[in-house]
Amino acid sequence: MLRSGLFTKRFNSTTTSLASGRTSQVALLNFPRASLLSFSSQTPRFLSSAANSFTHLKSQLSDPTLMTAAGFIDNEFIATSSSGKHFAVYDPAKGTPIAHLPDMGIEETERAIQSAKQALPAWSQTTAKERSTILRNWYNLILENEQDLAKIITWENGKPLADALGEVRYGASFFEWFSEEAKRLYGEVIPSPNRQQRMIAIRQPLGVVGIITPWNFPNAMITRKLGAALAVGCTVVAKPASETPLSAIALYELGRRAGVPKGVIGLVTTHHDTKAIGKHLCESQDVSGISFTGSTAVGKLLLKQSADTVKKVSLELGGNAAFIVFEDADIDKAVDAAVLAKFRSSGQTCICVNRFYVHSSIMDAFGERLRERVEKFRVGSGMEASTTHGPLINKASVEKVRSHVHDALDNGAKLLTGGKESENMHGYFYPPTVLTDMKNNMRIATEETFGPVAGIFKFDTEEEVLEYANNTRFGLAGYFFSKDVSRCWRVAESLQVGMVGVNTGAISSEVAPFGGVKESGIGREGARQGLDEYTQYKYINMAI
Q: Are 373 and 364 in contact (CB under 8 A)?
A: no
Residue 377: closest CA among 406, 414, 344: 344
**Taking the CB of residue 341, how many other CB atoms lie within 10 A of it?**
25
From CA 187, how far away is CA 477, in angstroms rounded?
Answer: 31
Q: Are 479 and 431 in contact (CB under 8 A)?
A: no
Q: How far is CA 148 from CA 65, 142, 244, 246, in A?
A: 10, 9, 15, 12
Q: Classify burial at 537, counting beta carbons within 10 Å of its beta carbon; exposed 0-12, middle 13-18, buried 19 or more.
A: exposed
Cα 17 vs. chain centroid, distance in angstroms?
A: 18
The DSSP line for 115-127 is HHHHHHHHHHTS-
Residues listed for the chain: 544
Number of DSSP helices (H) and strands (E) in the chain, helices first: 16, 22
The 3-state DSSP class for residue 540 equals: strand
- 431, amino acid identity: P
CB-based burial, 70-95: b 16+ in 10 Å, e otherwise: bbbbebebbeebebebbbbbbbbbbb
Q: Are 232 and 534 in contact (CB under 8 A)?
A: yes
From CA 338, how far away is CA 351, in angstroms rounded?
Answer: 12
For the annotated catalytic residues, the residue numbers are: 316
DSSP-assigned letter for residue 191: P
